[in-house]
Structures are given as C-alpha cells and as structure tokens.
Structure 1
Amino acid sequence: MPTSTPSPLRCVVVDDNEINRLTLEHYISLTDSLELVASLPDARAALNLVRTAEPPIDVLFLDIEMPHLSGLELVPLLPSPAPEVVLVTSHPNFAVDAFELRVADYLVKPVEYGRFLKAVERAGTQRRNVLAALRSPAEPAPSAEGSADTDLFVKVNNKLVRLDFNDVLFIEAMSTYSMLVTERQKHIVYITLKALEERLPFANFRRVHRSYIVNTRRIDSVQDNMLQLGSYEVPIGKSYAEDFMRQLRGL
C-alpha cells in the first residue's frame, strides 16, 4: 500500500524588509513540504492572521527587529497551540533570547537555502509531534501481565514513555506544553494544561490553579492556600480554593 504524503506545512513570512521577504518566499516555493499562506511586513498583522487562520498556521518565519512589535515580543502573544517559530535576523546576539522562547530554530541573514531546509525539517518534526500529542496526548498502556490501570503512555520528545500516574505529584503549565512532575523526574509533554485536564482519565487529578493540576492522593498537607506534595509546594488559586477545599473534605 503506498504511503500517503503529508500535507504541506502552512507557513507565513513576517519581515519589514521586502528583499528579505522575497528571499524566503523563493525558498518556500522551492520546498514541496511548505505552502506559503501570506508574506507580511508587520508583526501585528501576523498575529491577527494566526489568531483567525483556518486551517491553522503551522510555521512562522519571523524577523526579530520590526517597528511597533518585534518578533521576540510577538512570540509570547501567539495563541495556543502556537505555530512553530523560526526566527530570522541579522544579529546572532539574539540567540539566547530565541532559546529562552523555545522557538524551533534561529537563522542568521543572509540565509542559505541548505540551512533554511534544516530549519524547515526541525520545525516540521516539532509541529507533527505537537499535533499528534494534541490528537492523542495519552493512550492506555497495552495490556500486559502486571500492568496497572494507572499506567499511560505519554509522548515525550519523539517517543512514547510509559508513566505510572500514581507517581505524578502535579502537572504544571509551561506555555503550550505541560510538565509532569514526580519525586524523581520531570517530563515535558506536548499538550496544553487545559487540553490535558479535559482528557486525563483519572478522577483524582484536580485543577487547583490556572497553572497547576495536582494528584489529590499525593497531597501531604494544606496550609495557607499552599499544598505540600512531597518536597514541592503548589499554590491554590483564589478562584479554585472554595470548590477544591469542598472536594478535598469529601475525599
């Protein structure tokens, strides 16, 4: 049976310099895995497009230095799940800022086509992982002797990892990702906290804060709107406190 070809990644170029935009537009036209949706001179217009585009935008090729709203300022404003971002700039000193924003890649002008293709491959891999995790963030572990009902496979980086959710103390939001925290390890999974909350099959996991879901079976104590779970402390948000405490007393 022939293998189906993946749909091209829908991409947008954002740069206030027309020559730079034309260069990236040409590279995109040479790349079968990409589909150019728009080429824009303004980050504000790009933000509006990403918020309304249907189907969603997969990749942004984003200049850093632009008037009104820079590329570095735009990235945190992107809606969730955000497109993969490839920053493009003339100044390599922005690399540290780019790393902290968890962008897919960082290109320095003038951009060579070979280096552009590497960025496309990296962004494409990350985008496919995110979309796969959003469609199926946690799947029941295959039945096997000794396996428990609390075991799930979760997608971590490029592989599925079996995780016993009895060991999970809490889950913390990290932008468009989530971090599952046990006493000994932390796992980054490609799904938002909201989506994970909706799909997690265990009743003992409760939202206690806009940034935290806790395993109520692992709560050691509660004091001054703080939960102690092992060596960690997790705050209880004001809007969650009354309902959560009522639920906790009923456990």
Structure 2
Amino acid sequence: MSKAKVLIVEDEPLIAYDISGILTKNNYEVVAMVDEAADALEEIAKSDIDIALLDVNIEGQMDGIELAARLDIPFIFLTSYYDQATIDRAKLTNPAGYVVKPFSEKDLVVNLEIALSRSVTRQSEIVNRTPEKFFVRDGNEVVSVMSSDILFVEASDNYSFIYTDKGKYLISHTLKSIEDKLLPFGFRRIHRSHLINFDKINSISEGYVFIGAHKVQIGKSYRKSFMDSLPVL
C-alpha cells in the first residue's frame, strides 16, 4: 500500500520538523514543508498531494484559512487559535479536521486517518451518485435545475453564475457553498472561480476546458491535480 502524501504548511520550523517526524514515523510521506500560502499553492500545483496540514497564522499575504478556501484537496488545521471568531471562519472552508496545539502524536495520526478515510468514501459516493434536482431563482420565478444539466459554475464576488444549455442563473451563494452541494454529483474545482461538471467536458487544451461553446480556464494551482485525475487511455 502506497504512503499517503502530506503537505505541511507551518511557519514555525521546529514545529514543522516535529510534525514531519511524527508523520514519517507513522508511514506517511512528507512531500514538502512550506511557511506561506504562495509556496503551498505552488507545491500543490506540481506535486501529487493527498492532504495538507495547515497552520492558521502563517507568513505571506494569506493566512491559513484563506489558503484553505482555495484548496481542492482535504486539509486539517493545526493551530493554537481556538477563539470563536477563528473557528467560525475555519468552518466555512469545510476542513477535514481542526487540531489545537499543543497536540499529541495520537491526536494528529487519528485525525489524518479519519480525514483520508472520509476522502476515499466521498470519492466513491461521487462515482455512484445519481443526479439531483435543485431550485434557482430566475427573475420572479423559481425554476428547477438538474445537477446533470449544469455545465459549470462561475464565482462573482459573493454571488455565482450557474451555466446550463438553457442559459445562466445568478444566485446569492459563494462558489464554496455551491461546491459543497455539487461535488457529490461529479463536479470538479479547476480554478478558484470555476467549478465544472466533469461529464460535460468536450476537450481540454492549453490550460482550458471546453464545455459546449464555453471556454473555462484551469487555474495554475489546480492544473496538475486535475490533469493527473483524468482517466486517459
């Protein structure tokens, strides 16, 4: 059985090396240790990573929670922050775990095992999930849209556009909240602003996915994991 590959995002070197030692001891592969979001996104774009361990307070322009909102892999927060405001922000990113420092080796390993197990189960559910009906507002009317009829979703600040063959609908939800509902139906995040229906892809070329008459950009930080996931003959 191959080792699960882990990215550590931690700005305290001693803590990062301590985490790395625990993971190596417990048969995990540490792909990299970085201390800011930009380096984390670059590492994810070029490496095959199963899960990330994120500190909330890290170097750079984005903190760990802002970084988490851009990830399409499972992640666990490892942090000394447990005030309600931080927890409320963290919950919006749907983490696979939230471990408060100082933590024990057992706490870390158990959270990793559970997170990775949930990830495998979720992927299995995605493959076997049947389409579901959703309702969106179109002017003064509320219309039904099957998940299988959605081509892709595009973020627009705190709103999102849902594209179908019949047209597009503006809804007052963030892309992240829509992603949580549509991932079980075969949708993939390929850009911080784009969520696509995998079954609707016609072709992929030069950093874009073509869906019908639409050309949807693949984000740099999502490109490698997306391309690696394609079932190529």
Question: How does the TM-score come out when normalised to structure 1?
Answer: 0.55
- CA 1:207/1:98 → structure 2, altered by over 3 Å: closer, same or farther? farther
% identity of equivalent residues: 19
- CA 1:39/1:67 → structure 2, altered by over 3 Å: closer, same or farther? closer
- 1:10 is aligned to 2:28: no
Correspondence for 1:183: none
- 1:75 is aligned to 2:68: yes
Q: Name the SS of the counterpart of 1:101 in structure 2.
A: coil
Correspondence for 1:27: 22
2:181 aligned to which of 179, 182, 186: 179
State the distance in 2 between where 1:178 and 1:207 align: 24
CA contact (8 A) 1:130 1:190 kept: no
Deviations 1:220-247 (A, max 9, x none): xxxxxxxxxxxxxxxxxxxxxxxxxxxx
1:194 aligned to which of 173, 179, 196: 196
State the distance in 1 between where 2:32 and 2:132 align: 44
Q: Name the SS of the counterpart of 1:92 in structure 2.
A: coil
- Where in structure 1 are there 5+ consecutive unaligned residues? 139-152, 155-161, 181-186, 200-205, 211-251
Deviations 1:82-133 (A, max 9, x none): 1211111111122222211001101111111111122101221233235446
State the distance in 2 between where 1:126 and 1:189 align: 16
CA contact (8 A) 2:76 2:99 kept: yes
CA contact (8 A) 2:56 2:81 kept: no
Q: Which has the higher contact order (CA 8 A, sep 6+)?
A: 2
How do 1:2-151 residues align onto structure 2 when only pairs under 5 Å count? 5=1, 7-32=2-27, 34-53=28-47, 56-68=48-60, 69-78=62-71, 82-93=72-83, 94-132=86-124, 137-138=126-127
How many matched pairs?
A: 165
Correspondence for 2:164: none
Give the superposed CA RMSD. 3.5
State the distance in 1 between where 2:132 and 2:102 align: 48
1:169 aligned to which of 145, 159, 162: 145
CA contact (8 A) 2:122 2:184 kept: no
- CA 1:177/1:209 → structure 2, altered by over 3 Å: closer, same or farther? farther
State the distance in 1 between where 2:213 and 2:181 align: 15
Which structure would you say has the larger Rg?
A: 1
CA contact (8 A) 1:58 1:127 kept: no
State the distance in 2 between where 1:52 and 1:195 align: 23
State the distance in 2 between where 1:207 and 1:179 align: 23
1:96 partner amino acid:
D
